[in-house]
Amino acid sequence: MTFPGFPRETITFLRDLEANNEKAWFEAHRAGYERCYVDPALALVEALAPVAAALTPPHKAEARLNGSLRRIHRDVRFIKDKTPYNPQIHLIFWTGGHPNRSAGIHLVLGPQGLGYGSGHWAFEPDALARYRAALADPEERKALEDALEKAAAVGCTLGQPALKSVPKGFDNDAQGAGLLRHKGLVARTWGNEAIDERLFTPECTAWCAGIMTALAPLDAWIRNHVETA
């Protein structure tokens, strides 16, 4: 499928939603939500589905709401910010059985432009143990560092580690000590998005495909060494 690019009105819709994040405004602009948000987002998922399937490992693409297109409605039950909508289009392509419980690639179009990243946010205890064991192997650690370099080439880096020092039983001076302080691995852009003209043209698909190709090695490492017992 050929994706023509997002309509320019998509950015206008997202900015207006950010400024008017309430149910009454959203319901009054539901037609714009369908035309500028849902329809082009699902079309891009369909265009990227063959790319996702050809990655190593293959990534799943489901062109439906709550599939690769995440819901616009926010879960506000346990957070202070009660605004009801996410003023961004969040696409996910994942490697395992569930998009929220396996490594995946995320493309997030917000009012300021396109952000993206990949990885697994937080490892379960058994997976965390496998992660730390893999870092003890110099070859496996080097493979992870290479994957992170590929992610960095498209502007994606790790955030701050969860731990201030290495876990108990590990050496602060060991190779890979910085990586040991992480309890999950996500390499992503960090708020430096800008409106790129490729968003509004057929070049958008190839641009996103290049990003996905650069990010897939990180998902592959996580899938092979952390998520698979």
Sheet strands (E) in the chain: 89-94, 104-110, 113-120, 157-158, 185-188
DSSP per residue, 157-217: EE---S-SSPPTTS-TTSTTHHHHT-SSEEEE--S-----GGGGSTHHHHHHHHHHHHHHH
The structure's pTM equals 0.95
- Angle 203-100-189 (CA atoms, 0-180°, nearest 5)? 45
pLDDT score recorded for residue 172: 77
pLDDT at position 229 is 54
| Closest listed residue to residue 38, CA positions, set 68, 77, 4 | 68
110: which residues sit within 8 A by CB, 6+ positions away? 14, 87, 88, 89, 193
Please report how many Cα atoms fall inside a 13 Å half-sphere around the Cα of residue 143, on the Cβ side. Answer: 18
> How far apart are the C-alpha atoms of 220 and 227, rounded to whole Å?
10
Q: Give pLDDT tens digits for 40-51.
A: 999 999 999 999
Domains of the chain, start order: 9-227 (3.30.930)
What's the confidence (pLDDT) of residue 100?
Answer: 86
Per-residue model confidence (pLDDT) at position 76 = 84
Q: Residues in the chain with pLDDT < 50?
A: none
